[in-house]
Amino acid sequence: MSVHRKGSGWVVRYRDEARRNRSRSFVRKTDADRFDAEVTRRRQLGVLGTLQAGGETLDEFVIGTWAPNHAVTVAPKTRRGYANLYDHHIAPHLGSVALRELRPELIARWQAERLQAGGGPVAVAQALTLLGNILQRALEAERISTNPVRVVRRARVPRRKEIQPLAPATIERMRAASTQRDAALMSVLAYAGLRPGEALALRWGDVRERTLLVQRALSLGVEGDTKTTQHRTVRLLGPLKGDLAAWRLASGRPADQALVFPGRTGAPWSVAAYQSWRRRAFARALTAAGNVTSTPYALRHSFASLLLHEGRSVIYVARQLGHDARLTLTGYGHVIDELEDQPRIDAERAIRQARVPRDVPSQFPQTTNTPAGSGSGNTQNLSADRRSAVVEPRGIEPLTSCLQSRRSRPWPRSARPVRLRCRRHALPPPTSSIA
C-alpha cells in the first residue's frame, strides 16, 4: 500500500484479497491518507473484499440479485406494481449508476426532478420507498456500507381525502339498477366489508349460518391467500343472508365448492372481466344512484360505518374488516367523532328501512292520479317532480282499470252512487215506501 502523487492529485495503490492490483485517486492528500488507513484497517479485520463492493450498477443488482431473491417473495400484484415503478421512475435515471455512487444528494436531486417533470407525488414517494427497499437489500449483501435513502428528506405527499361511506339508501338504489348477480355482489361488498378479490373468491361453503369465512382472495385472476394472509370470520347480516339465499336459488343451488360469483365459464373472474364489470355495470349503478363517486373497494366503508353506528368498538370493526386497529382509527376517526353521544342504530334495521319504499305504505300500494285525457299510466309528459311521485304498485295484484286512470268505465245510470251534501245543506229525510 502506498500513497503517490499523480499530476495535481493523489493516488492510493494496494492489492485486494485476490492479490489483484487496485488503485483509487483523490484530489486532496488528506483524503488519500484516510483511504489508505481504511484499507489497512479492513485488511486487519479480514473484510478487505467489501472495499470494492458496490461497483455494479443499480440495474445489474436488481436483475441479478434483488429480483430473483426478493421480488419473488411478494404477491404477483405487488410485484407488478414494483416493476411499473422501477421501469418508469427509477431505471431511466438511476439504473446506470453504480451502487456506491448513489449518495443522498444524488437521490434527493432525482426526487426533485421527478416531481418537476410532472410525476405524481404519491407515485414518486412509492418509487423512493422501493429504492430504499432495494438499497437495504444491497446493504445486507455488503454491496454498500450505508443506505443513502434513509437520510433523504421525503417530499410532502397530499393528504388523503376523508372516507365518505355510502348510506344504505344509496346502496339500495345501486342494487335496484343492477342484475340479481351484481346486486348480490354489491351486498357482499357493502354489507360484509369484503374486498373485491375476497368476494370473487368466496365459495358457497364459506357462507355459514351466522358468519362468512374469508380465507382466500382473487388477485390478477389467480386464487390465493388474503391480502394480510390472515383468515377471518365476518358477521352475516340478515338482509345479506336473504340476498345470498335468493341468488343461490336463482343459480340452481350450486354445490358448496362452487364460487358464489363465478365467471361466464364457471371459472374465477379474469382481470379483464373485472375491469369491464367495473366500467360498465358498476358505473351504471353509480349513475342510477345519483351520479355518486365510489369504487367497488370503497363499498366496504359502508359496512364499517354500519358497525360504528351500532356502537361497536374499534377492535371489533378492525377484526371484521381484516386490518389493523390503528388503520381503523386513521380512516374512520371522523366517523367516530361524528357519532359521539348519538343514538345507536342496528345495522340490519338500517338496511331494512332503506329497502322499504318511502312513498308507498307497507300494506297498500297506491298511484298518483294522472290528468284527464293523458291516458293510462302515461308519465312521459310529466315533469321530473311528478314522475318521481308516481309509484308503481307491485307485489299484490295487477292494476285495475279504476286505478289506472280517473276516466274508467262510467257507472250505469241506475247504479251511480248518491252524492251526499255537507251539513249546511242537509238533504231531506228519505220518504218511506211503507205506508
- Res 86: pLDDT: 95
- Res 429: pLDDT: 53
Q: How confident is the model at residue 205 (pLDDT cuts 50, 70, 90)?
A: very high
- Give me the mean pLDDT over the 162-188 stretch: 93
- Res 394: pLDDT: 36
- Res 191: pLDDT: 96
CATH ID of 168-352, from 1.10.443.10, 2.40.40.20, 1.10.340.30, 1.10.20.10: 1.10.443.10
Give residue-wise pLDDT tens across range 301-330. 999 999 999 989 989 999 999 988 888 887
User: Does residue 412 register a pLDDT over 80?
Assistant: no
- Res 331: pLDDT: 80
Average pLDDT, the chain: 80
User: Does residue 434 register a pLDDT over 90?
Assistant: no
Domain covering 58-151, topology: DNA polymerase; domain 1 (1.10.150)
- Res 7: pLDDT: 83
- Res 48: pLDDT: 64
- Res 54: pLDDT: 66
Q: Where are the domains of the chain?
A: 2-52, 58-151, 168-352
Domain 58-151 and domain 168-352 have a common topology = no
Give residue-wise pLDDT tens across range 35-46. 888 888 877 777
User: Does residue 424 register a pLDDT over 80?
Assistant: no
Strand partners for 259 = 203
Count of CB atoms situated within 10 Å of the CB of 421 = 8
- Give me the mean pLDDT over the 406-419 stretch: 47
Give residue-wise pLDDT tens across range 13-24. 877 766 778 787
pLDDT above 90 coverage of the chain, percent: 48
Which range is least confidently modeled, 19-33, 213-227, 359-373? 359-373
User: Does residue 246 register a pLDDT over 60?
Assistant: yes
